[in-house]
């Protein structure tokens, strides 16, 4: 059914454009002159984007109220043209999950911008920070609004670059530089798989396009201003293409080509969303300033992987193996990260592992769904939505605490509840939310994930997810108790004071959102495949989950609230001995990677290649230069400066020409 698109929907390109303009203007023109205005302009630009996003969301859901929400592409621009009718376009795609992500990204980004005006005050790189934040916001929005997989890949890389720049923001610290390099290299390596997957899909897309595209309904193809193209998600996800592609097999091992492509694409998603074993970059990424951690490594960039899987969900669903892989990896990561998170002392590290764990939840929710029972899809997106708010809040509050205490370690904090009341309240709200205590947001989204797992009969996954829920409550309340209760454990904690208003205002807003976001009836908006049977809260799941959370809180209380409790915790730690130390060292995975890179890759691959490059490649170039120089030198020996010698040459030349004429003319 044709609907008249309103202003916001037709001009959806403004949403990424405003941060882009901010990036250019702030970076080139404002940053050299006034740091303060750099912050103000960037913040206003992102807020404008956020308002626009809300308008789009309102219009879109209002317009299609009660109907099947279609995918609209109101704006495109042709970028690469291979043939007339087959080209790669850049555009903005409006469909339920892109609207959701757009709202999340702009909101969190705007709040982080606001917060950073207070947090980064006095830093010499203040203007540079906002430039990079604007760049990141633009890249993430471009990724979210991508109508085809090529645009998504382009902005995927751009987001990686922004992350690199922001993690390494304190570029004079060697650890920060190393962390940014690590993040970039790991995600780039993962993107290799992604690229191969994209190329595979694109190739078969192009091959099949002429024969399949006429039969694809326009309704499914989306209302696009540029017509269906082979790289479009609408095309790749269409049943016709999947039916054509699924039976194809790779030449060796008999793997399905579709499975291979989706597994490779998932490799990219796993890298960006830090799934095991590509998770190693996320804890180190905490070297960046805290607002960066809040924005990028909690709420937005890391969910790009989840978003990608959701975007290509029909394709993933067509290949059971790929979906199984997603489920297994997601489940394992959530458990793995939760276990490690219980032992870390750096508050940001704990939050990083918590993020890993929650991302695992989102992935497993997608993994347990099928097109016939797609509750997990909705649940995953719902959890993404709520997680963004409370995780960003946790990070920003942690930032306020770190700012006040001048240390990252929880053992330097303590008793901050009285010193920083607003921060304390917000942090508590977020911690309750993440633990899944009703009626806060986390409870609803986690509940849906558990329900999805159970409904699709993945009992092991259900059990692990329950366990992780308990662990989550445990480690989150561990840091809560150590940080906000108990005695002042350090000098900084004694002299802590509340954050300035620019910093606690975003905290308060996010706290409110964390509380109420759970009441959004997500399944009205976000669904795919078969219609959902809407049942509301399933008490059979909600009650045990809440009990697990309360159990976790209780154990944390027992072990960490107060001095006697912490003594008990220490005794437990020494009793567990080796196990405790292994977990605390993150299962030595980083050391394994380091071993492989240094001992194996450097010695057996890098060194020979470097030798080859220096001696053969450079040698070849040097050789050509040497030959030219030597030839020139040899020829210059003929320039004796004596005119008679020149006369000799001249005469010889004239005779030679004469002989040539003789030979030529007979």
Partner 1 sequence: MNALTQALANQTPGLNHWLVLSTVLFSIGLYGLLTRRNAVGILMAVEVMLNSAALNFVVFNYFVTPGAFDGQIMAIFVIAVAAAEVVVGMAIFVAMFRLRHSVDVNRIDTLKH
Partner 2 sequence: MIGQATYTLAFYFLAAASVLLALAVVNERKLLRAAVALMGVLTVSAGLYAMLGAEFLAGVQVLVYVGGIVVLIVFAIMLTRSAELLEDRPDKLRSALGAVLSIGFLGSVVWVLKSSTFALPAAAPLAPHDDAREIGVLLLNYTSTGYVLPFEIISLLLLAAVIGGIVVARKTAPAEQPFTSGGDLAGEADFEVPRTQHDEAETGVRQ
Q: Which residues bind partner 2 (CB under 8 A)?
A: 644-645, 648, 651-652, 654-655, 658-659, 662
Q: Which is nearer to partner 2, 623 or 659 (CB)?
A: 659
Which one of partner 1, partner 2, none interacts with residue 659, CB within 5 to 8 A by kind?
Answer: partner 2
Q: Which is nearer to partner 1, 605 or 648 (CB)?
A: 648
Q: Does 641 help bind partner 1 (rule: CB under 8 A)?
A: yes
Measured on CA atoms in the order 280, 167, 352, 322, is the torsion positive or negative?
negative
Q: Which is nearer to partner 1, 574 or 640 (CB)?
A: 640
Q: Which is nearer to partner 1, 251 or 635 (CB)?
A: 635
Output the smallest distance, CB 629 to partner 2, in A.
Answer: 27
Q: Which is nearer to partner 2, 84 or 666 (CB)?
A: 666
Output the smallest distance, CB 651 to partner 2, in A.
Answer: 5
Listed ranges 296-304, 400-408, 472-480, 647-655: which one lies at the site for partner 1 (CB under 8 A): 647-655
Distance CA 654, CA 612 (A): 49
Listed ranges 308-316, 318-326, 485-493, 635-643: which one lies at the site for partner 1 (CB under 8 A): 635-643
Q: Is residue 510 a contact partner of residue 392, using CB atoms and an 8 Å limit?
A: yes
Listed ranges 42-50, 53-61, 574-582, 632-640: which one lies at the site for partner 1 (CB under 8 A): 632-640
Residue 597's contacts (CB-CB under 8 Å, 6 or more residues apart) are none
Name the token pair of 12.
């959806």
How many residues bind partner 1 (CB under 8 A)? The answer is 11
Output the smallest distance, CB 650 to partner 2, in A.
Answer: 10
**Position among 66, 642, 664, 665 found at the interface with partner 1 (CB under 8 A):** 642
Output the smallest distance, CB 615 to partner 1, in A.
Answer: 33
CA distances (Å), origin 235, targets 95, 216, 263, 548: 15, 8, 19, 43
**Position among 596, 609, 648, 657 found at the interface with partner 1 (CB under 8 A):** 648
Q: Does 539 help bind partner 1 (rule: CB under 8 A)?
A: no
* CA trace torsion 450, 455, 458, 464 (10° rounding): 10
Distance CA 31, CA 17 (A): 19
Which one of partner 2, partner 1, none interacts with residue 252, CB within 5 to 8 A by kind?
Answer: none
Largest CA distance in the chain: 116
Q: Does 634 help bind partner 1 (rule: CB under 8 A)?
A: no
Q: Which is nearer to partner 2, 574 or 644 (CB)?
A: 644
Q: Which is nearer to partner 2, 251 or 665 (CB)?
A: 665
**Position among 1, 539, 637, 663 found at the interface with partner 1 (CB under 8 A):** 637
Q: Which is nearer to partner 1, 252 or 662 (CB)?
A: 662
Q: Which is nearer to partner 2, 572 or 654 (CB)?
A: 654
Q: Is residue 293 a contact partner of residue 333, using CB atoms and an 8 Å limit?
A: no
Which one of partner 2, partner 1, none interacts with residue 655, CB within 5 to 8 A by kind?
Answer: partner 2
Map tokens 């380091």 to a residue. Answer: 594
Q: Does 657 help bind partner 1 (rule: CB under 8 A)?
A: no
Distance CA 572, CA 566 (A): 10
Listed ranges 166-174, 378-386, 387-395, 644-652: which one lies at the site for partner 1 (CB under 8 A): 644-652
Which one of partner 1, partner 2, none interacts with residue 637, CB within 5 to 8 A by kind?
Answer: partner 1
Which one of partner 2, partner 1, none interacts with residue 576, CB within 5 to 8 A by kind?
Answer: none
Output the smallest distance, CB 661 to partner 1, in A.
Answer: 17
Q: For strand 223-224 and strand 86-94, is the pairing parallel, antiparallel, or unpaired?
A: unpaired
Q: Which is nearer to partner 1, 124 or 641 (CB)?
A: 641
Q: Which is nearer to partner 2, 215 or 640 (CB)?
A: 640
**Position among 616, 639, 662, 666 found at the interface with partner 1 (CB under 8 A):** 639
355 φ/ψ angles, rounded to the nearest 5 degrees: -60, -45
Residue-wise burial string across 140-164, b where 16 or more C-beta atoms lie within 10 A, e elsewhere: bbbbbbbbbbbbbbbbbbbbbebbb
Residue 401's contacts (CB-CB under 8 Å, 6 or more residues apart) are 347, 413, 416, 420, 423, 427, 483, 496
CA distances (Å), origin 100, targets 53, 54, 58, 383: 9, 10, 11, 12
Q: Which is nearer to partner 1, 219 or 647 (CB)?
A: 647
Listed ranges 119-127, 316-324, 545-553, 639-647: which one lies at the site for partner 1 (CB under 8 A): 639-647
Listed ranges 33-41, 106-114, 245-253, 631-639: which one lies at the site for partner 1 (CB under 8 A): 631-639
Q: For strand 72-83 and strand 86-94, is the pairing parallel, antiparallel, or unpaired?
A: antiparallel
Listed ranges 449-457, 484-492, 593-601, 636-644: which one lies at the site for partner 1 (CB under 8 A): 636-644
Q: Which is nearer to partner 2, 574 or 640 (CB)?
A: 640
Distance CA 369, CA 529 (A): 10
Q: Which is nearer to partner 1, 609 or 645 (CB)?
A: 645
Which one of partner 2, partner 1, none interacts with residue 658, CB within 5 to 8 A by kind?
Answer: partner 2
Residue 131, burial from CB neighbour count under 10 angstroms (0-12, 13-18, 19+): buried
Q: Is residue 296 a contact partner of residue 163, using CB atoms and an 8 Å limit?
A: yes
Map tokens 């649940």 to a residue. Answer: 379
Q: Does 644 help bind partner 1 (rule: CB under 8 A)?
A: yes
Output the smallest distance, CB 647 to partner 1, in A.
Answer: 5
Q: Is residue 115 a contact partner of residue 39, using CB atoms and an 8 Å limit?
A: no
Output the smallest distance, CB 659 to partner 2, in A.
Answer: 7
Which one of partner 2, partner 1, none interacts with residue 172, CB within 5 to 8 A by kind?
Answer: none
* CA trace torsion 29, 35, 41, 46 (10° rounding): 110
Output the smallest distance, CB 663 to partner 2, in A.
Answer: 12
Q: Which is nearer to partner 2, 604 or 650 (CB)?
A: 650
Distance CA 406, CA 443 (A): 33
Distance CA 271, CA 280 (A): 9
Q: Does 631 help bind partner 1 (rule: CB under 8 A)?
A: no
Q: Is 162 left (phi over 0), alpha (psi -120 to 50) or beta?
A: alpha
Residue 445's contacts (CB-CB under 8 Å, 6 or more residues apart) are 379, 382, 383, 385, 386, 387, 518
Output the smallest distance, CB 655 to partner 2, in A.
Answer: 5
Output the smallest distance, CB 648 to partner 1, in A.
Answer: 5
Q: Is residue 549 a contact partner of residue 473, using CB atoms and an 8 Å limit?
A: yes
Q: In what order do the strands lie in the sheet with 86-94?
A: 86-94, 72-83, 223-224
Q: Does 662 help bind partner 1 (rule: CB under 8 A)?
A: no
- Applying CB under 8 A, the residues found at the interface with partner 1 are 636-637, 639-644, 647-648, 651
């Amino acid at each position: 059914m044709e609907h008249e698109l309103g202003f916001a929907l037709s001009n959806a390109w403004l949403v990424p454009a405003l941060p882009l303009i901010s990036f250019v203007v702030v970076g080139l023109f404002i940053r050299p002159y006034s740091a303060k205005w750099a912050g103000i302009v960037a913040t206003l630009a992102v807020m404008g984007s956020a308002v626009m996003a809300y308008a789009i969301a309102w219009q879109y859901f209002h317009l299609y109220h009660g109907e099947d929400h279609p995918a609209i592409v109101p704006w495109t621009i042709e970028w690469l043209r291979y043939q007339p009718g087959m080209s790669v376009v850049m555009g903005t795609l409006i469909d339920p999950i892109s609207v959701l992500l757009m709202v999340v990204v702009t909101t969190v980004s705007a709040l982080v911008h606001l917060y950073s005006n207070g947090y980064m005050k006095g830093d010499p790189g203040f203007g540079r920070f906002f430039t990079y934040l604007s760049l990141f916001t633009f890249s993430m929005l471009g990724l979210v609004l991508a109508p085809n997989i090529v645009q998504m890949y382009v902005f995927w890389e751009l987001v990686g670059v922004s992350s690199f720049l922001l993690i390494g923001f304190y570029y004079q610290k060697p650890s920060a530089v190393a962390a940014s390099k690590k993040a970039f290299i790991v995600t780039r390596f993962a993107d290799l798989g992604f690229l191969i997957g994209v190329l595979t899909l694109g190739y078969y897309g192009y091959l099949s396009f002429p024969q399949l595209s006429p039969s694809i309904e326009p309704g499914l193809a989306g209302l696009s201003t540029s017509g269906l193209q082979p790289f479009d998600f609408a095309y790749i996800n269409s049943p016709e293409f999947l039916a054509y592609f699924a039976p194809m097999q790779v030449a060796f091992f008999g793997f399905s080509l579709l499975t291979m492509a989706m597994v490779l694409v998932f490799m990219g998603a796993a890298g960006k969303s830090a799934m095991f074993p590509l998770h190693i970059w996320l804890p180190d990424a905490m070297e960046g300033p805290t607002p960066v951690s809040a924005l990028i490594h909690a709420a937005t960039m890391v969910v790009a992987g989840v978003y990608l899987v959701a975007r290509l969900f029909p394709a993933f669903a067509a290949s059971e193996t790929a979906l199984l892989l997603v489920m297994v990896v997601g489940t394992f990561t959530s458990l793995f990260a939760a276990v490690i998170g219980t032992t870390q002392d750096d508050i940001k590290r704990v939050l990083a592992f918590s993020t890993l764990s929650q991302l695992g939840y989102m992935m497993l929710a997608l993994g347990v769904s099928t097109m016939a029972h797609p509750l997990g899809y909705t649940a995953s997106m719902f959890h993404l939505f709520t997680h963004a708010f409370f995780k960003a809040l946790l990070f920003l509050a942690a930032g306020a605490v770190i700012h006040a205490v001048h240390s990252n370690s929880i053992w330097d904090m303590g008793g901050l509840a009285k010193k920083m009341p607003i921060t304390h309240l917000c942090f508590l709200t977020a911690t309750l939310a993440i633990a899944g205590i009703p009626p806060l947001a986390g409870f609803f989204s986690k509940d849906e994930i558990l329900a999805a797992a159970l409904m699709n009969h993945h009992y092991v996954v259900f059990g692990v997810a329950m366990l992780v829920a308990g662990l989550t409550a445990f480690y989150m309340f561990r840091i809560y108790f150590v940080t906000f209760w108990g005695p002042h454990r350090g000098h900084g904690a004694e002299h802590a004071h509340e954050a300035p208003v620019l910093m606690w205002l975003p905290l308060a807003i996010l706290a409110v959102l964390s509380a109420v976001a759970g009441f959004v009836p997500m399944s009205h908006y976000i669904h795919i495949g078969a219609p959902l049977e809407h049942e509301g809260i399933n008490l059979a799941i909600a009650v045990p989950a809440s009990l697990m959370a309360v159990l976790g809180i209780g154990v944390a209380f027992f072990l960490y609230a107060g001095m006697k409790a912490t003594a008990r915790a220490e005794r437990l730690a020494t009793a567990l001995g080796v196990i405790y130390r292994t977990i605390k060292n993150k299962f030595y995975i980083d050391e394994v990677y380091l071993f492989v890179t240094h001992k194996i890759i450097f010695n057996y691959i890098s060194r020979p290649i470097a030798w080859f490059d220096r001696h053969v490649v450079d040698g070849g170039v040097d050789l050509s230069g040497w030959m030219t120089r030597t030839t020139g030198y040899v020829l210059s020996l003929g320039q004796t400066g004596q005119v008679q010698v020149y006369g000799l040459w001249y005469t010889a030349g004239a005779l030679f020409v004469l002989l040539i004429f003789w030979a030529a003319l007979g």
